[in-house]
Amino acid sequence: MEALTYLGSGELEWQEASAPQLDSDRAALVRPLAVATCDLDALIIAGQSPFPPPFPIGHECVAEVTDVGDGVRSVQPGERVSVPFQISCGECASCRRGRTGNCRNERPMSTYGFGPAVERWGGFLSDSVLVPYADHMLVAVPDALTSTAVASASDNISDAWRSVGPPLEQEPRAPVLVVGGAGSGSIGLYAVAIALALGSESVTYADVDVDRLKIAESLGAETLPAPWPQRVGPFPITADTNATQEGIELALRSTAPDGICTSNTIYFGEQPRLPLLEMYTKIVTFKTGRVHARPIMPEVLGLAERGVFHPELITTRVIEWPDAADALLERDWTKLVIERV
């Protein structure tokens, strides 16, 4: 089979790879149908991540089940599924508590498409992928949804939901500030759309990119272009999806007393300085870290199925499978979806 492989900064190539085989009665094989770029992919392709090449890429997808082990009960060949980017068993103490990003039965940071275990699991821009815990990991895609629309449900959309969904459950209709722009910048836009779908009375979106600001405005957000003030609001709910010192300070200083700020972004290299005294005096809750994607995926698919959330509005390009390498290197996208036709 072929797999699109990252070879180094600005280098991608389709390479022959060994096709995975069912290795247990709990496993399944899937054929990716639509693969979305993660905001992290932009950094990987530019050589700005700590993951050494070569490795197969792609870690957000909707796929077709092609084969299942004898013990698999929840899915059958021919069904469409969303495949979480993290490997998790569903049975260990961490998984049972919804902490599937830290499954105790798998190597830390076991993911598709990047990371220390990528040689074991491969990437989604390939002809076949092994899913070791099919009944737990695979989530059925509702018939009403296209594969391209929800290809990102397995990572970036779920990541965006965790920054606004739980806080809005605690404080319904609360106004939200999203500071966007890290990587290719889709997570912040998904957070805007999800916050509005969940009933936020208003969402303000800050970014330096004119095109993303236009998308946010079309979604219904108020926009805040650069240069930014030191603070705005205050907002009970804020999200840092920006990955700069200025961005995280804006999010934290704009968080209201007793508010919640979630940072979805990755800070490689020099770490940001946090206004800890101000956060302390305001009693701000600050959350960061990788998303536990698998428990959230049904939530975001449900929002899309009900028609209150339209992730396709954040997609800037849909291209055919053979064009993936060239399109990824062009970097003229916020969210690129590669479709097998």
pLDDT digits (tens, 9 = 90+) for 195-205: 999 999 999 99
Tokens of 285: 């809750």
* Res. 331 pLDDT band, cuts 50 70 90: confident
Q: What's the pLDDT at 175?
A: 98
Torsion-angle region of 184 (φ positive above 0: left; ψ -120 to 50: alpha; else: beta): alpha
Residue-range domains of the chain with CATH: 2-155+291-339 (3.90.180.10), 156-288 (3.40.50.720)
For residue 291, pLDDT over 90 is answered with: yes
- Comparing CA positions, the residue from 134, 174, 121, 141 lying closest to residue 24 is 134
> Cβ contacts of residue 335 below 8 Å, gap of 6+?
36, 37, 152, 156, 184, 186, 189, 314, 315, 316, 317
Mean of the pLDDT values across residues 248-260? 98
Q: What's the pLDDT at 280?
A: 98
Tokens of 221: 């957000």
Other beta carbons within 10 angstroms of residue 207's beta carbon come to 26
Q: What's the pLDDT at 148?
A: 98
Share of the chain above pLDDT 90, in %: 99
* Res. 222 pLDDT band, cuts 50 70 90: very high
Tokens of 265: 């972004």
Tokens of 6: 């990252």
Q: What's the pLDDT at 341?
A: 84
C-alpha 265/C-alpha 240 separation (Å) is 7
69 touches 25 (CB < 8 A): yes
Tell me the pLDDT of the chain averaged across its residues.
97
Q: What's the pLDDT at 232?
A: 98
For residue 123, pLDDT over 90 is answered with: yes
Mean of the pLDDT values across residues 181-207? 97
* CA–CA distances in Å: residue 255 to residues 74, 247, 280: 42, 13, 12
